[in-house]
Every structure is written in C-alpha cells, then in structure tokens.
Amino acid sequence: MVRNERLIGVAAKSTTHRKTRDLDDISAPLLGEMEAFFEQYNRLEGKAFQVLHRRGALAAREMALGATRTP
C-alpha cells in the first residue's frame, strides 16, 4: 500500500466557496463525489483506492507546510 494524501484547496477570492474554511464547510454529498472520483480514477488505472480518514484545515496546513520544508 502506498499513501498518497489529497488536499482540497479553495481560492482565496472564490465567489462560490468564499465561506469554505474547513472540511465541515463542504457538504457530505460533494465530499462523497470527490472520493468516488478518486476511487474510479484509480480503478481505471488498475489500482485500489481507499479513504482512510478525513482531516480538517489544520492538518492540511501542517501537511502542506511540512512538504515545503527542507531537511
């Protein structure tokens, strides 16, 4: 199994999602559609995809900042 985290980003000046600040601000049906997309995309590549968990904005920020740091 290979981990491959996904981050959801929203444009700072988005008119459609201007109030989106955390994962709880995204509807359950839209999150389900995103997960279904990744499942299908990977299935077409002959790979398995499983959502292990969902985390909020703080975890995403820490992950993104950690990825930009050099050892």
pLDDT for the residue numbered 12: 85
List phi, psi (to 5°) of 48.
Answer: -90, 150
pTM for this model (two decimals): 0.72
- pLDDT, tens only, 13-38: 999 988 898 999 999 999 999 999 99
Residue 66 confidence class, pLDDT cut points 50, 70, 90 = confident
Number of domains, the chain: 1
Query: 56 near 22, Cβ under 8 Å?
Result: yes
Q: Which domain holds residue 71?
A: 1-71
pLDDT for the residue numbered 70: 58
CA–CA dist 50, 71 (Å, integer): 30
Calculate the alpha carbon distances from 65 to 36, 59, 68 in Å: 27, 10, 5
pLDDT for the residue numbered 69: 65
